[in-house]
């Protein structure tokens, strides 16, 4: 069973722009859905080998004692973005997320971070609070996917996992310093 290669991660990259950036951490938030905690090696997988994610987890912050109140796709993403329960952020089911409300990416921007969103958005609206974004329309497809950008739709050739990885690397390499 090779679950991990089929995940469509939503990868939120945040890097600092401010002069005090050297004293503030870079933030890499990886949001993947529809798998159990033990699907990743560092969280106990005996099946999946995830050495790169394991290395990131060992060097950064791990959430070992957390739970979600709405552990499905759109509602869960809205909770992570706003820090509010689903009934309070207006996205208790698969409906359109109201991007006008305060979100973590907007707060990070206000603090001088350069923010980006890459991958599965699945919130029924366009991203707000991100300096750059490239998202999958709806659920997305795994091979030769279309992506939405602020400038329109683009088609990329290949499998979604290496494509989103490469897009993330490009974001990090081309961000303002």
Active site amino acids: 73, 122
Cα Rg, the chain, nearest whole Å? 16
| Helix H or strand E segment including 117 | strand 113-120
> Each residue of 141-165: b (16+ CB within 10 Å) or e?
eeeebebbeeeeeeeeeeebbebbb
Q: What are the C-alpha distances in Å from 12 to residues 5, 15, 44, 46, 92?
A: 18, 10, 24, 27, 22
Instruction: Say how far apart CA 137 and CA 65 lie, in whole Å.
Output: 32
């Amino acid at each position: 069973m090779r679950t991990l290669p089929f995940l469509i991660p939503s990868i939120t990259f945040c890097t600092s722009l401010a002069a005090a950036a050297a004293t503030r951490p870079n933030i890499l938030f990886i949001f993947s859905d529809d798998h159990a905690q033990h699907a990743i090696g560092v969280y106990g997988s005996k099946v999946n080998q995830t050495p790169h994610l394991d290395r990131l987890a060992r060097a950064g912050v791990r959430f070992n004692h957390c739970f979600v109140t709405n552990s499905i796709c759109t509602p869960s993403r809205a909770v992570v973005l706003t820090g509010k329960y689903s009934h309070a952020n207006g996205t208790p089911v698969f409906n359109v997320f109201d991007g006008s409300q305060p979100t973590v990416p907007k707060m990070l921007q206000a603090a001088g971070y350069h923010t980006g969103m890459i991958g599965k958005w699945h919130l029924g609206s366009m991203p707000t609070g991100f300096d750059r974004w490239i998202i999958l329309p709806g659920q997305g497809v795994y091979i030769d996917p279309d992506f939405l950008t602020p400038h329109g739709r683009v088609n990329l050739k290949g499998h979604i996992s290496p494509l989103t990885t490469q897009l993330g690397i490009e974001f990090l390499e081309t961000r303002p310093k």
